[in-house]
Structure 1
Amino acid sequence: MNSTTKKPTTAFWVIGVIALVWNLIGVMAYIAQAYITDEALAILPEAEQALYRDIPAWATAAFAIGVFAGALGCIVLLMKKKLATSIFTVSLLGILVQMYYNLFQSNAMDVYGPGGMVMPILILVIAIFLVWYSKDLGKRGVLS
């Protein structure tokens, strides 16, 4: 173990905390989707109700892996550990599987239209950034 890690910059802490908040919002979105009540589901338009009802277990699991691994990765990053890169990679894989389902297996694009691509693209870009950023921090000696 390298006991001579470099001191993180203010940007490290800002990025780490913002990324943690982002991923915790993802965790809340997962919980809201996974535990949506019948009453809340009934309020949605019929097309959206069908989207929620038809999600396979593997897509829900991928969503859970993506968001919980992302949040854990942020915590580990803020602890300045290189393990964050591996955890962020697991999160990215979960996101890719979930996005595969959302874009190619479900009819989400028919329901939400082209505007429905904004959030998935943003999620993917941030996940890729976190893998790259943690890897870069490890190379620069900020993570041990």
Structure 2
Amino acid sequence: MTSQPVSATSRPPKHLWIVGGLSLVWNAFGAFDYAMTQFQVEAYMSNFTAEQLDYFYGFPAWANAVWALGVWGAVAGSVGLLLKKAWAEWAFGISIVGLVGTSIYTMVLTDGTAIMGGPSVMIFSIVLWLITIGLYVYSRAMARKGVLT
């Protein structure tokens, strides 16, 4: 019995597993932060100042909602990459919508950047934006190439 040769298009590229795995680990940190904050886990929240706690606990419902979209959209997108699903692109798109809303709340409507640490928060925000957009572009490219179905 001879086996059929496997075409290059039938196997996902190795970088899909690397990007998918690393993005899931990265986005799991965001999910952990979101969950610990929303559930107000004392052991986690004790790392913040009183002013930072007031800031977190004062989020309006819409700000919590867009934060959730950003975090859980990104986690779903990472899972979608690992499952080779084209909806990963949509999930990462939703995470961008969430990041836009969260950024507007933090940087425009409140003094969140200063409250949370100033320049280091801005640097982290830039990194977050680059990774989020990069994952969207990557998932879009993989979907267009037929790697994600």
Q: Distance in 2 between matches of 1:76 and 1:42?
A: 34
Q: In the alignment, residue 139 of structure 2 is paired with which amino acid?
A: S
Q: In the alignment, residue 15 of structure 1 is paired with which amino acid?
A: V
Offset at residue 44 of structure 1 (A) = 3.5
Residues 41-92 of structure 1: CA deviation (Å, up to 9, x unaligned): 5763232132123211111111111111111111111111111111110111
Picking from 10, 24, 37, the partner of 2:28 is 24
Is 1:103 matched with 2:111?
A: no
What stretches of structure 1 of length at least 5 have no aligned partner? none
Picking from 94, 98, 113, the partner of 2:118 is 113
Q: Distance in 2 between matches of 1:127 and 1:40?
A: 25
User: Relative contact order (C-alpha < 8 Å, sep 6+): which is higher?
Assistant: 1
Equivalent residue pairs, number: 141
Picking from 116, 120, 128, the partner of 1:123 is 128
What stretches of structure 2 of length at least 5 have no aligned partner? 1-7
Runs of 4+ in 1 over 3 A off after TM superposition: 37-44
Q: Aligned-residue CA RMSD in angstroms?
A: 2.0
Structure with the higher helix share, 1 or 2: 1
Percent of pairs with identical residues: 28
TM-score (norm 2): 0.84
TM-score (norm 1): 0.87
